[in-house]
């Protein structure tokens, strides 16, 4: 780990910030990890934003091939870090090797997937309405539309995916794909991992001959340098994954600007799981065990963790509960990402333990060492859940709540009461279809992804994925932060009317030289 | 005009509001027009929103054909009102017959255009990533994505297009096309026109057998019933065209909600027009006359009115000024839409007349009658314009400002200083291409539509149009309020993972029964 310097990255430079320091920490031991990281000052932020703004017009007009190659080069440079990246990420996050190797594969894979999306070119949404000079009563001008990048984007690294939702994660990949320079506010929970990945991106920028301002990365507090970044007039959009408090604070900064900007904050979700009657009759015990597997995986530190179970009272539900209780009681306490997350988890669980309408069904094994997540499973009745909004609050970690409903009507009423969610899951059999049909319109209004007979943890990076949903799951239900649709978050349409051929972008030129899908008079084609 | 009742429309009912009254007014005479219109109470708002929410799940799942037919039926019912609509709109707006007949054609045309968009089905953005059960190390689930409607939409009628941007205007058409019920807050400047069109939509809802809550229309003050409508938790998006003050007030209400919602407010733009050197050399006099024609058309009451001219000092520019001054001095004062707009125009012009850095170049002919717009043209130098943000404020009506720049560098620097705009116009010849190339990246960052050798007034309703742009031109640069792309404002993606075939929407069914464009593993096709 001799390569770590503690320096932030501003364009092509690396500088040790003078505004205080932060260190990585091994959450399994509480020990600090060298080196110190210097925090960015207002002047550092100014330089990063100025470089990003200066790079924007050039970067957004790179050819499809050049931009795709750059994304692939980012992927290659991340792989070229080698095992140092995995070792440092393990130390900083407490996550196991296999998980982080998988996450690196996902991070590299999504950069390459976005490269293929950029090359394909549909994201430009090119539209041409040719002139109609002889139309009566008025002729029509030649009108052409494409999408262009919004401008420099502020990306906030997330603690729970130190690779896939961090410096070169989904937000960065989709913003770069759209043509936006990126200024990352590195997460203080993994500064060393951030430096390694940040330097890889910096190398890719240089290798591809792009303007240095395409990428910068700053260390600092979210409440200080993070807020200042979102407030900077050169920043035109924000990508964030984290807590509801953090996300809503950034939303407030963004709307208070002289020019309000879009914030894509993925925040808070308890991911309701419906245990439907026939599915319980068929496999209650297996479902109980599988639930605990999904709940406790990665110490439950997933946005899509199953934090709420809903079912109609039945003997099969009792069987499910018994199986899940047994499995949960045998689950080992795993290391959480940071002491702060560990404390928030313990506080959230303690509040539920002490809630007079909540019964504790089971706790996991006691912790051996600091900062461990002892899994927790609670239950309450539907009336109590409906009466207390606090019972809908996410407890980040392996905590979940079972609501026993007396009948289908109560199950549906309770679903209407839910806040916005990333996911909703149906465990169901053929005999449950009628109930599922009644629930589906409600779930479509509440969630970004609806799944059957699986668990919401595990989010595929592909074209059809939606990792999003109505507030407070995210700040903007019109988009996704995982999957290729995410490129659209960072684009806006521009129309060119009767513009000289010499001035038209290649994507809108006569004869379709890029051979992309375009819509001519509303008809999709490649002519 | 015996058909006018003064009643608001809530679902299938018509009720006289009990919360005060408002009357239409003939702005050319100042006379009130019968009947009185009763204003909506909180209870009326509650009923309208409850009906909209109740209609949502049914309406958003209407077939493509049924929804398209409904939009066409709306168009037919508006035409069936006949000349009464034109006569009433003339009386309430002061706009001439030919303009309003054209606007009716546009209104009906855009409903029919959205019907064709709905039928074509690409707006669903259907995506399918088939299961990969044998993939290592982990199999892939079956993932399918479509877009669904956001929910009930609040639409605010605009005063300056009593048909095309009002009750059945672009916002309503695009929201209904997306599958959103609409609650209109009628503009108090044309209550009778609103009633006629509202009843036409109400009839279309009934004829098509749709739930009554698909459409309601309330009368009331924007600051009272308008704000309450945006604050209602059942409303999921807002469409607005009007002033910057009105739009930003609605944005504040929307962001202060427990669940913030998108606001599409089209607000304020001064639409810079660049008079480039070679174009001026070739046709300064003709450009001067044409400018005055665009400026004074419809008393300048267009969002795309040319409120700012930019040029480099030259003798040809002097020729342009002389021609424009002569034309402007001969321009008759036309009736403005409302006394409030007339007063705001007079106040805005008076402030510029009294500004110590601003010179009045010309005024139009004196008014004969109340509430007339006497056109006004001003000039200032680039330094003064850069020093005073107030000189960028829109004066709604036939007012414009010429900035003389000393060279190209100053012209570009001044362009960088501009706020967000709906349009930017280049008057240019072949010899101006180098300067246009230098300006274009700046203009793309500033405006939604860039046009050459035309005037920004006149907005084609088509596929490639963008009537939008960075703040404060609109609240959300990612969209347009004119043209077919507007349907996307009211949609959000939903992903279905391993969902039973019986539960999948038809747009995502195996075999593509709707024969729409879909993306399978990222590849567009109709299979």
| Residue corresponding to tokens 């402030």 | B351
* pLDDT tens by residue, B150-164: 999 999 999 999 999
Q: Please give the residue of chain A at the shortest CA–CA distance from B126.
A: A464
What's the whole-model pTM score?
0.98
Q: Please give the residue of chain A at the shortest CA–CA distance from B490.
A: A478
DSSP reduced 3-state for A111:
helix
Please indicate if any CB of chain B lies within 8 Å of the CB of A32.
no
Tokens of A197: 């990945």
Which residues, listed in sequence order, are joined to residue A402 by a DSSP beta bridge? A309, A379
A 235-294 → B contacts, CB under 8 A: 251, 255, 259-260, 262
Q: How far is residue B102's CA from residue B460's CA, in Å, rounded to a whole number?
A: 12
Answer whether B145 sits within 8 Å of A485, measured CB to CB.
yes
B 34-53 → A contacts, CB under 8 A: none
A 69-88 → B contacts, CB under 8 A: none
Which residues in chain A are contacts of B137 at CB distance < 8 A?
102
A 339-368 → B contacts, CB under 8 A: none
User: Which of A77, A92, A103, A266 is the catalytic position?
Assistant: A266
Site from B497, B502, B523 to mutate, A interface, most A CB atoms within 10 angstroms: B497
| Percent of chain B topping pLDDT 90 | 98
Q: B325 with B379: CB under 8 angstroms?
A: no
Q: B496 with B144: CB under 8 angstroms?
A: yes
Q: How far is residue B180's CA from residue B56's CA, in Å, rounded to a whole number?
A: 7
Kindly report the nearest CA distance between residue A266 and chain B, in angstroms.
14
| Residue corresponding to tokens 């609109």 | B474
How much is the CA Rg of chain B, to the nearest whole Å?
25
Per-residue pLDDT of chain A (527 residues; tens, 9 = 90+): 458 999 999 999 999 999 999 999 999 999 999 999 999 999 999 999 999 999 999 999 999 999 999 999 999 999 999 999 999 999 999 999 999 999 999 999 999 999 999 999 999 999 999 999 999 989 999 999 999 999 999 999 999 999 999 999 999 999 999 999 999 999 999 999 999 999 999 999 999 999 999 999 999 988 899 999 999 999 999 999 999 999 999 999 999 999 999 999 999 999 999 999 999 999 999 999 999 999 999 999 999 999 999 999 999 999 999 999 999 999 999 999 999 999 999 999 999 999 999 999 999 999 989 999 999 999 999 999 999 999 999 999 999 999 999 999 999 999 999 999 999 999 999 999 999 999 999 999 999 999 999 999 989 999 999 999 999 999 999 999 999 999 999 999 999 999 999 999 999 999 999 999 999 999 999 98
User: Which of A303, A373, A374, A394 is the catalytic position?
Assistant: A303
Least Cα distance to B454 among A504, A508, A499 occurs for: A499
Answer whether A140 sits within 8 Å of B462, measured CB to CB.
yes
Q: Please give the residue of chain B at the shortest CA–CA distance from A503.
A: B437
Contacts of the segment B201-205: beta carbons below 8 A, 24+ positions apart: B201/B74, B201/B77, B201/B167, B201/B168, B201/B172, B202/B9, B202/B12, B202/B14, B203/B77, B204/B70, B204/B73, B204/B74, B204/B76, B204/B77, B205/B12, B205/B70
* pLDDT tens by residue, B401-454: 999 999 999 999 999 999 999 999 999 999 999 999 999 999 999 999 999 999
| Residue corresponding to tokens 């920028």 | A205
pLDDT at position B1 is 47
Q: B91 with A497: CB under 8 angstroms?
A: no
Site from A55, A115, A482, A497 to mutate, B interface, most B CB atoms within 10 angstroms: A497
| Residue corresponding to tokens 């993925």 | A266
CB-CB: which of B102, B120, B452 is closest to A499?
B452
Tokens of B32: 């009130």
- For the residues of B383-426, what is the DSSP string, one character each? HHHHH-GGGGS--SSSEEEEEEESSHHHHHHHHHH---EEEEEE
Answer whether B491 sits within 8 Å of A479, measured CB to CB.
no
pLDDT at position A462 is 98
| Residue corresponding to tokens 């705001």 | B344
Answer whether A470 sits within 8 Å of B140, measured CB to CB.
no
Which residues in chain B are contacts of A57 at CB distance < 8 A?
441, 445
Answer whether A444 sits within 8 Å of B420, measured CB to CB.
no
Kindly report the nearest CA distance between residue A264 and chain B, in angstroms.
13
Least Cα distance to B168 among B33, B469, B177 occurs for: B177
Kindly report the nearest CA distance between residue B495 and chain A, in angstroms.
4
Answer whether B116 sits within 8 Å of A522, measured CB to CB.
yes
CB-CB: which of B466, B493, B521 is closest to A466?
B493
Kindly list the catalytic residues of B.
266, 303
Please indicate if any CB of chain B lies within 8 Å of the CB of A228.
no
Q: A100 with A90: CB under 8 angstroms?
A: yes
Tokens of A322: 């018994």
Kindly report the nearest CA distance between residue A115 and chain B, in angstroms.
12
Q: How far is residue B312's CA from residue B185's CA, in Å, rounded to a whole number?
A: 45
Answer whether B120 sits within 8 Å of A522, measured CB to CB.
yes
Least Cα distance to B28 among B282, B445, B302, B342 occurs for: B342
Kindly report the nearest CA distance between residue B245 and chain A, in angstroms.
14
Site from A128, A417, A464 to mutate, B interface, most B CB atoms within 10 angstroms: A464
Distances in Å between the Cα of B212 and the Cα atoms of A65, A226, B143, B203, B216 are 52, 48, 35, 10, 8
Q: What is the DSSP letter of B357?
A: T
Q: B517 with B147: CB under 8 angstroms?
A: no
Q: Please give the residue of chain B at the shortest CA–CA distance from A450.
A: B496
Q: A127 with A519: CB under 8 angstroms?
A: yes
A 441-470 → B contacts, CB under 8 A: 441, 444-445, 447-454, 458, 460, 462-466, 468, 470
Which residues in chain A are contacts of B498 at CB distance < 8 A?
451-454
Sorting pLDDT into bands at 50, 70 and 90, what band is B2? low
Please indicate if any CB of chain B lies within 8 Å of the CB of A518.
no
Which residues in chain B are contacts of A460 at CB distance < 8 A?
129, 140-141, 143
Which residues in chain B are contacts of A125 at CB distance < 8 A?
485
Kindly report the nearest CA distance between residue A452 and chain B, in angstroms.
5
| Residue corresponding to tokens 């001439």 | B96
Kindly report the nearest CA distance between residue B499 and chain A, in angstroms.
5
Tokens of B115: 């019907």
Kindly report the nearest CA distance between residue B494 and chain A, in angstroms.
5
CB-CB: which of A428, A444, A519 is closest to B463?
A519
A 106-145 → B contacts, CB under 8 A: 116-117, 120, 122, 125, 127-129, 137-138, 140-141, 143-145
Distances in Å between the Cα of A464 and the Cα atoms of A168, A449, B69 are 21, 10, 30
pLDDT at position A2 is 52
Left, alpha or beta for B82 (phi > 0: left; psi -120 to 50: alpha)?
Answer: left
Q: What is the mean pLDDT of residues B134-147?
A: 96
């Amino acid at each position: 780990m001799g390569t770590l310097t503690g320096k932030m990255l501003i364009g092509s430079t690396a500088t040790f910030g003078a505004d205080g320091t932060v260190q990585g920490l091994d959450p399994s031991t509480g020990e600090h990890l060298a080196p110190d990281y210097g925090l960015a000052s207002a002047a550092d932020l100014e330089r990063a934003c100025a470089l990003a703004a200066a790079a924007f017009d050039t970067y957004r007009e790179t050819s499809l091939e050049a931009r795709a190659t750059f994304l692939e080069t980012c992927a290659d440079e991340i792989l070229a870090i080698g095992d140092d990246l995995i070792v440092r990420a393990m130390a900083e996050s407490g996550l196991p090797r296999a998980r982080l190797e998988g996450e690196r594969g996902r991070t590299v894979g999504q950069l390459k997937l976005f490269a293929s999306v950029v090359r394909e070119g549909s994201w430009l949404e090119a539209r041409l309405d040719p002139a109609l000079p002889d139309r009566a009563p008025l002729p029509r001008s030649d009108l052409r539309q494409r999408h262009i990048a919004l401008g420099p984007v502020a990306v906030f690294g997330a603690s729970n995916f130190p690779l896939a939702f961090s410096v070169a994660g989904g937000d960065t990949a989709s913003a770069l794909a759209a043509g936006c320079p990126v200024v990352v506010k590195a997460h203080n929970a993994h500064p060393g991992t951030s430096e390694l990945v940040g330097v890889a991106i910096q190398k890719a920028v240089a290798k591809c001959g792009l303007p240095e301002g395409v990428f910068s990365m700053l260390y600092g507090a979210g409440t200080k340098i993070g807020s200042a970044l979102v407030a900077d007039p050169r920043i035109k959009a924000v990508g964030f994954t984290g807590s509801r408090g953090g996300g809503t604070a950034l939303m407030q900064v963004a709307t208070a600007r002289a020019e309000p900007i879009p914030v894509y904050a993925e925040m808070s979700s308890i991911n309701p799981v419906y245990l439907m009657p026939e599915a319980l009759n068929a496999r209650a015990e297996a479902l109980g065990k599988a639930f605990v597997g999904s709940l406790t995986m990665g110490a439950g530190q997933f946005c899509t963790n199953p934090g709420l179970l809903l079912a109609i009272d039945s003997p099969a539900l009792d069987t499910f509960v018994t199986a899940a209780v047994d499995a949960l009681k045998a689950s080992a306490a795993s290391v959480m990402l940071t002491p702060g997350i560990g404390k928030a988890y313990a506080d959230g669980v303690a509040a539920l333990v002490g809630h007079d309408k909540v019964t504790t069904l089971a706790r996991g094994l006691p912790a051996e060492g600091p900062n461990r997540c002892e899994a927790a499973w609670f239950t309450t009745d539907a009336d109590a859940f409906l009466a207390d909004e606090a019972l809908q609050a996410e407890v980040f970690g392996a905590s979940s709540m079972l609501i026993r409903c007396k009948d289908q009507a109560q199950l549906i009423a309770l679903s209407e009461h839910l806040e916005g969610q990333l996911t909703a899951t149906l465990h169901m059999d053929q005999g449950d279809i009628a109930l599922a049909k009644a629930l589906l319109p409600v779930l479509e209004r509440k969630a970004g992804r609806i799944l059957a007979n699986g668990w919401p943890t595990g989010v595929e990076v592909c074209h059809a994925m939606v990792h999003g949903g109505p507030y407070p799951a995210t700040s903007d239900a019109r988009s996704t932060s995982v999957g290729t649709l995410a490129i659209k978050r960072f684009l806006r349409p521009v129309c060119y009317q009767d513009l000289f051929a010499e001035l038209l972008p290649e994507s809108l030129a006569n004869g379709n030289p890029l051979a992309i899908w375009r819509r001519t008079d509303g008809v999709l084609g490649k002519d």
